[in-house]
Amino acid sequence: MQVGFSPGLSSTSTQIQRKLLTVPHSGRPSIGPGFIAAPDWAAMPRPRRLVRGLAQLLGIGFLGSLLAWQIFGALSEAAGYESILESELERWSLAQQFILVVLLAPVLEETIYRLPLQKHFRPGLIALSLATGALFFTGAGSALFWVILMLAVAVGSIGARPRTRQKIQDKWTTNARIPVWSATLVFGLIHIVNFDVEWSIYAVLVAPLVVSPQIWLGLMFTIARVRYGWWAGLVLHATHNGLIWSISGLAG
């Protein structure tokens, strides 16, 4: 007797495997180092300890970025990297700096890099992130602007193709590493613009180490976004920027 293939059974099995792969066995999602090594999409079931969780991420992010800066600061100088962020900010008044650093930058960066980071694959959110990045961080009308804009349209059109969307959804749900790590790495590397450097092979090779503080912070913001929601990631990002801006102002 020939054994037939049962689509219903296969679909049920796939759903069970997906749940096993995406739901932590501890019963409560972690905001610790485990997420960095093996990201998942589990949200806090009852985020009653939201403030406590964000405070922990703020402290871990601040100390981790400070440690990375201490470790790789000399390497950055040896490669010819010179920070120009403070000199750029000095051209603005304190009120303008506050709006730019504490309000505008977190909103734009959380929209561009972390808005789509959730359990469900949303082509529209990715398209919005790409379009926002093209609008604010590339010259309008430049070649890069149009490339990113066309990519946004292409990604957004996936929503009208159910089969393609479902295939991506299956991979997206069971393997959060690719979107989480990719978004975090791009977020960190884009901060290279905060430095003035004469490019060489050595400068390119050490670039990820130069922006390692930003990569570490990006992971903290991502944990907040996934576990507590986009608004929580935004609050954490804005609070961190405000803290660094205040310390820098007092030290100056």
Three-state SS letters, the chain: CCCCCCHHHHHHHHHHHHHHHHCCCCCCCCCCHHHHHCCCCCCCCCCCCHHHHHHHHHHHHHHHHHHHHHHHHHHHHHCCCEECHHHHHCCCCHHHHHHHHHHHHHHHHHHHHCCCCCCCCCHHHHHHHHHHHHHHHCCCCCHHHHHHHHHHHHHHHHHHCHHHHHHHHHHHHHCCHHHHHHHHHHHHHHHHHHEECCCCHHHHHHHHHHCHHHHHHHHHHHHHHHHHCHHHHHHHHHHHHHHHHHHHHHHC
**183 within domain boundaries:** yes
Query: For 156-209, how does the pLDDT look when each residue is reduced to its tens digit (9 = 90+)?
Result: 999 889 999 999 999 999 999 999 999 999 999 999 999 999 999 999 999 999
* pTM for the whole structure: 0.86
**101 within domain boundaries:** yes
**77 within domain boundaries:** yes
**24 within domain boundaries:** no
Tokens 């066309």 belong to residue: 150
**236 within domain boundaries:** yes
pLDDT at 2 over 60: no
pLDDT at 110 over 80: yes
pLDDT of residue 1: 42
pLDDT of residue 9: 40
pLDDT at 48 over 90: no
Q: What's the mean per-residue pLDDT of the chain?
A: 87
**149 within domain boundaries:** no
Return d(Cα 229, Cα 44) in angstroms, integer: 9
Q: Name the domain count of the chain.
A: 1
**10 within domain boundaries:** no
Q: Which two tokens stand for residue 124?
A: 């529209």
**Residue 210 domain boundaries:** 45-118+175-251
- Report percent pLDDT > 70 for the chain: 88
Q: Which two tokens stand for residue 152?
A: 């946004």
pLDDT at 70 over 80: yes
**58 within domain boundaries:** yes
